[in-house]
Chain A
Amino acid sequence: MNGWMGRIIRIDLSSGRQEPVAVSAETLRRWLGGRGLGVKLYSDMCPEPPDPFAAGNPLLFMTGPLTGTVMTSGRYQVVSRSPLTGTICDSSSGGSFGAALKAAGLDGLIVSGCAGRPVYLCVHDGTVEVRDASALWGLNTQQTQKAIHGQTPAKTSVACIGPAGENRVLFAAIMNDRDRAAGRGGMGAVMGSKNLKAIAAWGSQATAVADPEAYQTMIARLDRAVDKNPVTGKSLPVLGTSVLVNIINAHGMLPTRNFRSGVFNDAEGISGEKIAESLLQRQSACYKCPIGCGRTTKTRSKSGEGPEYETVWAFGAHLGISDLAAIAEANYACNELGLDTITMGSTIGCAMELHESGVLGEKMLWGDAGRLAGWVEDTARRRGFGVELGLGSKRLAAKYGRPELAMQVKGMEIPAYDPRGAQGMALSYATSNRGGCHMRGYLIMPEILGHPVFLDRFSTAGKPEIVALFQDIAAVVDSAVLCRFLQFAMGLSTFSEMLRAVTGLDFSDEELLSVGRRIYTMERLFNNRAGFTRADDALPPRFFQEELRTGSSRHRLVRLEEMLDRYYAVRGWDSQGAPLAATLAELGL
């Protein structure tokens, strides 16, 4: 087979039994791999949504048909039910772990059950080996990777959890290749609940390519396209993702002090420009990535990876903090302990507003950079007030009787773009099937950055159509599996060209769009079974009631109701957001 390895293994950690899972060629074509195939396999295994921490909640590590082939193809997707949101969730990570898993012979690894003691898995030559991890339990993510590297062949790639995952903190991440994170949605906590400390993968099996000659010509052309594009060839390599700080602030939508303002007066101090002239040591890149948006940085006493845009916002503007070194060190701590930086920062901001409003006694003060790393550490280790921070903002705010102060959708914290400044982004947040996330449909691209076309950010006209389209394309890229930053330099037709060259199947753009739509609808079906309805396609009341007072998004509110019905109609869902029978038939579901 070209593109796929033709092998997926399911291992039950309770019994230690492993077996190959047969997947037909037709299923691969309909779901690709990564997120799509993961969601399909997950849904087949769990018609009824299981408790996220139950042994019966499988955790899938998925590669795709393009993994290990073209540029940015080292990534993998983790699929499971999120303990933070209760939705279906997939979390993406870069580095080279995806490529290693595929070189070990697998399109995917399904982990179910729960081991009787801490274990880690070694994947190589198409098989899985269970090893004792008792000595690794308690180690941070870097110590864990180092220890496993000492017990495995060179070029092994390791994905693991830190103390946060072991302690089942609801937003624990899975970390691989030192500092790359499958960050959002608490996949690390699911891993911890299975007593699974790490997965190590190595191998030398190559992905077969259908038309090697056409493939090589295509690669050379795409390399040039990425290099020539001003975003992927210049801005991202030189300034990283934090170039967005000044841009988003200038648009009056850099969420400041828990989204009470869209302008952060110290934005310059935490900007990508500032990072480049202060902390930056060098850029870093994932497997086969010509872009290299990663930042290897150093403070006076520590060094590590980051901060990227979301993190510099979550620990910066969101908390009223402009001390870059403190932000970077909180980022390093999250990497080492295995925590999602967005939910961590957003939850601290929620606690600060709860304290300010008088309902929370714990002294959480805006701008308190000195205590940042301590809050992160306490959260991962479930100590002191860290136990409450570990709840995430939704549960924390509800506990103190002020649920409206949690800046979340479906329990997942909204990232670094105030939805009052971009109506399409607002609709995308509300309808994201893993909660408040910008990656399901990144409408900032057209509404702010002008790719691939420029759209009026304050208009709702046409937004339902474009949100659905962006969500579907994102699902395809997440299933291929490639890095979404390629989208600055290429569109859907290039992704279908890549898939044709590698798999030899005659994918058209239309077919891929229906693959994306099928994936999105399948995820929606799961969420509906888990009890989510139209009422959950919502945003915190702040965005409908409180106008921003300064900056260029002032006097704006989100106008979700103008878009939601139309969005459901575009998707072929009923007025409550449940897919119609005709839609299911059309998508073959």
Chain B
Amino acid sequence: MAGTIKVKFYALLRRRLNTTAIEVEADGISLLELLTRTEQLAGQRFLDELLDRKTGLLDGTMILVNGENVRLQRNLETRVRAGDRVDLFSPAGGG
């Protein structure tokens, strides 16, 4: 059996899904693929808070793979592997 990737939800996403994390059985797929599977497992749509399917990540969306923003990697094409941790933050701010 392949290992799992831990997808963590924060802020408004957490409230919307009413859960803090989902484990997705996967290895060596793209971030977009992972997010699509996560949405299916969550049983409700939430990706519209993070991305636009045509233009990619929304301004202000923060997705970290093992603590590193995917914008510094390959955005939605970033490869994710079993054992990785993915943090999802919809746009947020403060000061």
Contact = CB atoms under 8 A, between A and B. Distances in A.
Contacts of A309: 94-95
Nearest to B58: A230
B94 A246 contact: no
Interface string A428-452: 0000000000110010110011111
B92 A231 contact: yes
A267 to B, nearest CB: 11
Interface residues of B, number: 26
Contacts of B14: 273
A241 B94 CA distance: 4
A485 to B, nearest CB: 7
Contact of B93 (A438, A439, A454, A488): A488
A484 interface: yes
B66 interface: yes
Interface stretch (A232-240, A323-331, A343-351): A232-240
Interface stretch (A96-104, A247-255, A534-542): A247-255
A353 interface: no
A229 B71 CA distance: 21
A242 interface: yes
Interface residues of A, number: 42
Contacts of B91: 230-231, 235, 449-450
A450 B12 contact: no
B12 A442 contact: no
B40 to A, nearest CB: 24
B90 A235 contact: yes
Contacts of B71: 450, 454
B95 to A, nearest CB: 6
Contacts of B87: 250
A242 B92 CA distance: 10
A488 B72 CA distance: 22
Nearest to B9: A273
A243 B11 contact: yes
Q: Which of B15, B90, B92, B93 has the most CB of A within 10 A?
A: B93
A445 B49 CA distance: 19
A456 B72 contact: yes
Contacts of A451: 59-60, 93
A293 interface: yes
B5 to A, nearest CB: 16
Contact of A552 (B49, B59, B66, B90): B66
A256 to B, nearest CB: 15
Contacts of B11: 235, 239, 243, 246-247, 272-273
Contact of A239 (B12, B62, B72): B12
Interface in B41-95: 49, 58-62, 64, 66-69, 71-72, 87, 89-95
Given A485-B93, A485-B95, A449 B12 contact: no
B67 A449 contact: no
Interface of B: 10-12, 14-15, 49, 58-62, 64, 66-69, 71-72, 87, 89-95
26 contacts: A235-B12, A235-B90, A238-B12, A238-B15, A240-B94, A243-B10, A244-B92, A244-B94, A247-B89, A247-B92, A251-B69, A252-B67, A273-B10, A273-B15, A276-B15, A293-B94, A308-B94, A310-B95, A449-B91, A449-B93, A450-B61, A451-B59, A452-B59, A454-B69, A488-B93, A552-B66
